[in-house]
């Protein structure tokens, strides 16, 4: 790179007053702190926005807090990404307000997107998700890992994801809470779908139709909340990750 790219980290948050502080502490512990944090308060009625604004007064990097009243993670992410791009961001990274990015997360994202012009590094990178160690014991974390592996296998084998359907790159599981993308690519593929769910999968497939420069970084690690596993159980969580929705459980507990 001829210059250091301007990175923004976007965190959509809905009713995350209790969990958001952990995410903010994890971001403050990043080895690469050369980024602007944007928290998108997605219609919360609790103290989510207040938590983010208080953190902004003492954060080791610039922090902005905006509101997106239209509920839905796709709405919050799309609003946040476009807000960052309008303010000059060239690299965009996302995690969620119940996740804990490990200390090398932003550095790994920046390294993978080493050349956003598209002539060198990736234009989109997906990281690795593991279960949060503070929410479950070894059995719960193993169940979560199994669900992720099953979802990844299902995605690869699903006929709708086959290259013959016009995709330029093979399917690889993409977790929306651990991804980064170049700012030039994001609007070129139409942005994150605001509806319907699963927005992350729809977005990945839009990127797959546009470019082959999609990478996976094992160094880009996020500890993911396992509260869906507790709320749905093993069978219900499998149903969710197999793209069958929450079933009788109603709204996603995240």
Instruction: Report which of residues 98 and 158 the model is more confident about.
Output: 98
pLDDT of 141 higher than 90 = no
Alpha-carbon gap, residue 238 to 225, rounded angstroms = 15
SS3 for 98? Answer: coil
For residue 238, pLDDT over 70 is answered with: no
> Can you tell me which residue has the tokens 């193993």?
142
d(CA 99, CA 242): 21
User: How do beta strands 7-13 and 63-67 pair?
Assistant: unpaired
Percent over 70 (pLDDT), the chain: 86
The pLDDT tens digits for 54-95 are: 999 999 999 999 999 999 999 999 999 999 999 999 999 999
- The whole-model pTM stands at 0.87
Contacts by 83-88 with C-beta closer than 8 Å and gap 24+?
Answer: 83/38, 83/40, 84/8, 84/10, 84/36, 84/38, 84/183, 85/183, 85/186, 85/187, 87/8, 87/36, 88/6
The sign one gets for the Cα dihedral 190, 79, 70, 14 is positive
């Amino acid at each position: 790179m001829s210059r250091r790219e301007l990175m923004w980290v976007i965190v959509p948050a809905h009713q995350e007053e209790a969990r958001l502080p952990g995410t903010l502490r994890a971001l403050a512990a990043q080895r690469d702190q050369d980024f602007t944090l944007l928290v998108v308060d997605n219609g919360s009625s609790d103290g989510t926005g207040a938590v983010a604004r208080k953190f902004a007064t003492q954060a080791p990097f610039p922090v902005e807090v905006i509101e997106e009243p239209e509920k839905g993670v796709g709405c919050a992410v799309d609003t946040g990404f476009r807000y960052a791009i309008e303010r000059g961001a060239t690299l965009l990274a996302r995690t969620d307000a119940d996740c804990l990015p490990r200390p090398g997360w932003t550095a790994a994202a920046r390294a993978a997107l080493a050349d956003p012009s598209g002539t060198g590094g990736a234009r989109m990178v997906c990281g690795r998700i593991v279960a949060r160690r503070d929410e479950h014991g070894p059995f719960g974390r193993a169940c979560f890992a199994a669900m992720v592996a099953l979802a990844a296998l299902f995605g690869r084998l699903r006929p709708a994801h086959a290259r013959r359907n016009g995709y330029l790159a093979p399917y690889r599981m993409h977790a929306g809470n651990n991804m980064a993308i170049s700012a030039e690519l994001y609007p070129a593929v139409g942005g994150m779908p605001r509806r319907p769910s699963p927005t992350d999968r729809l977005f990945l497939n839009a990127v797959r139709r546009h470019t082959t420069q999609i990478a996976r970084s094992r160094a880009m690690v996020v500890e993911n909340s396992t509260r869906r596993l507790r709320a749905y159980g093993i069978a219900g969580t499998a149903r969710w990750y197999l793209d069958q929705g929450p079933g009788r459980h109603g709204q996603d507990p995240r």
